[in-house]
Amino acid sequence: MIAKSSSDDVIDNVVDTRIDNNSTTIGPSPEKPLPLWTGFVGCLVASIFFGSNLLPVKQFSAGDGLFFQFVFCVAVWFVGLVVDLIIGNERFYPLVLIGGVLWTTGNLVTVLCIKACGLAVGLLIWGTTSLIMGWAGGRFGILGLTPQVPKTNSKIALNYASVVLAALSAVFFLFIKSTRTPRVVRNSGINDDNSTIELEKAENISDEDEVNVETDFPFLNRLSDRVQQILGCTLASIAGIFYGLMFIPDQYIRDHGENYKLNNELPPNNGLYYINSQYSGVLLSSLFYFIIYAAWKRNKPSINPSIVLPAMVSGTMWAIANIGFIVAISALKNAVAYPIVSVLPGIVTSLWSLFLFREIQGKNNYIFLGIGMFIRILAAILSGLSA
């Protein structure tokens, strides 16, 4: 047997070292973070579609909102399924279902909010409370999240200033009195519960036949405009709290990736991989609420067939907006994305209400709206600079 020389040992050690070094490079490469520009594009998409997604249903009676929400959520889930097929996602995250449940729970009152205080004011109020909750979750790390602190003191100051200005802008919108066009009901002469009422525009009905009432929520007819405004703003604030919490579950998974490994791989940082899980929570909770509602109504839920297609279009638009939002969060983080996406949709909605629906009229309303929109735009710019 030939003994190994010292030179052979050196060669073997070198070969083993090279093999070890090469073995460390084999396997999936680490996930690259999304560039900042994708976050700003996501903010733009989210702002436009969040601010416009209720337009398709604006001129239709949504009843008490439960059937509308269910159809809306079916469309949302379908968009999530398409996204999963496009990106090839093969994993489901049960914890993220909670985010969908939170959103659906908050959304239960949005139809009533719009009836009570108008589309623009309602969206601006729940956008503000959503901003505070979502920003605080990312900035201070509530509910187990990792705090997202801007890198420099100047960016920290800009981030705080953007949130303060965004919240301050809501004060001006509280003083805006929306001009809601009441539904006009032609008296059919039938007094039983099965009577049919025809909703028409006021100009097509004679003065003696028209009665201005709110038909979807009759109790609003007994409330003054100021009480309706307070009720709508209060419910919108509560809805915003739920909206602000909806991204907590998927952010928690990303912050605690070691606890959610699959096949020794960390969960992705790209929020698109959590979309279908969240949208499944949206659909399942909406179905649950609709079943409870149908049982409470003794299997006679309020259903308007003409709302189906508008609700599906609205749901699709919302789903696209939410995709833009989660891309923005993935690229910019909660503390930056929330101030931007929470303030800009309100401006888009205000423009629709101002120029298309004429809900905002009068010199004082224009002044309050102008000041509020200016402050919101400034808040969005400061938040973008803090990225």
pLDDT reported for residue 30: 53
State the pLDDT at residue 285: 94
Task: Supply the pLDDT for residue 281.
Answer: 94
Average pLDDT rounded to a whole number, residues 13-31: 46
> Which whole-number Å values give the CA distances from 225 to 117, 222, 362, in the listed order?
9, 10, 16
Beta strands 183-186 and 198-200 are antiparallel
Lowest mean pLDDT among 21-25, 185-189, 282-286: 185-189
With a CB cutoff of 8 Å and minimum separation 6, the contacts of 340 are: 43, 47, 328, 332, 380, 383, 384
Confidence at residue 127, expressed as pLDDT on a 0 to 100 scale: 75
Q: Check residues 2 and 144 and name the one with the higher pLDDT.
A: 144
What pLDDT is attached to residue 218?
63
Tell me, what's the pLDDT at 25?
Answer: 40
In degrees to the nearest 10, what's the CA dihedral of 302, 317, 322, 66?
A: 0
358-383 mean pLDDT: 79
pLDDT digits (tens, 9 = 90+) for 72-112: 999 999 999 999 999 898 889 999 999 999 999 988 887 78
Reduced to 3 states (helix: H, G, I; strand: E, B; else coil), residue 186 is strand
List, as one string, the DSSP characters of 241-275: HHHHHTTHHHHHHHHTGGGG-BTTBPPPS-GGGGH
How would residue 199 be classed by pLDDT, with cut points 50, 70 and 90? very low
Among the ranges given (45-59, 141-155, 189-203), the one the predictor scored with the smallest mean pLDDT: 189-203
Q: Give the Cα separation of 195 and 212 in Å (integer).
A: 18
- Report the C-alpha gap between 253 and 382 in whole angstroms: 29
3-state class (DSSP) for residue 147: coil
346 has a pLDDT exceeding 70: yes
Sheet holding 198-200, edge to edge: 198-200, 183-186, 210-213
Q: Identify the CA nearest to 83 among candidates 246, 327, 299, 296.
A: 327
Confidence (pLDDT) at 80: 93
Residue pointed to by tokens 């733009």: 44
Percent of the chain with pLDDT over 90: 20
Q: How far is CA 213 from CA 117, 169, 196, 253, 274, in A?
A: 15, 32, 15, 48, 43
DSSP secondary structure letters along 82-108 = HHHHHHT-----GGGHHHHHHHHHHHT
Q: For 5-22, what is the mean pLDDT?
A: 48
Which residue carries 């049982």 as its tokens?
295
Percent of the chain residues past pLDDT 70, beyond the cut: 78
pLDDT of residue 359: 67
- Cβ(111)–Cβ(58) under 8 Å? no
Non-local CB neighbours of 190 within 8 Å, separated by 6+ positions: 196
Which stretch of 34-43, 203-212, 251-260 has the lowest confidence by average pLDDT?
203-212
pLDDT > 50? residue 184: no
Task: Let me know: does 305 contact 71? Beta carbons within 8 Å.
Answer: no
Q: What share of the chain is helix, strand, coil (3-state, %, to 5)?
A: 70, 5, 25
> Per residue, what are the HEC states of 28-41?
CCCCCCCCHHHHHH
- pLDDT score, position 90: 83
Distance CA 39, CA 272 (A): 13
Q: Which amino acid is at 36?
A: L
Residue 213: per-residue pLDDT: 55
Residue 168 has a CB neighbour count (10 Å cut-off) of 15
Assess contact for 55 and 352: CB atoms under 8 A: yes
Across the chain, what does the average pLDDT equal? 76
Question: Whole-angstrom Cα distance, residue 219 to residue 209?
Answer: 22
Is the model's pLDDT at 64 over the cut of 60? yes
Question: Which contacts (CB < 8 Å, 24+ apart) does range 132-135 have?
Answer: 132/163, 132/167, 132/240, 132/244, 133/240, 133/241, 133/243, 133/244, 133/245, 134/243, 134/244, 134/245, 134/247, 134/334, 134/338, 134/342, 135/163, 135/334, 135/335, 135/338, 135/339, 135/342
- pLDDT higher than threshold 50 for residue 268: yes
pLDDT higher at 301 or 214: 301
Question: Which two three-digit tokens encode residue 80?
Answer: 């999530």
When mean pLDDT is compared across 34-48, 150-164, 210-224, 276-290, the lowest value belongs to 210-224
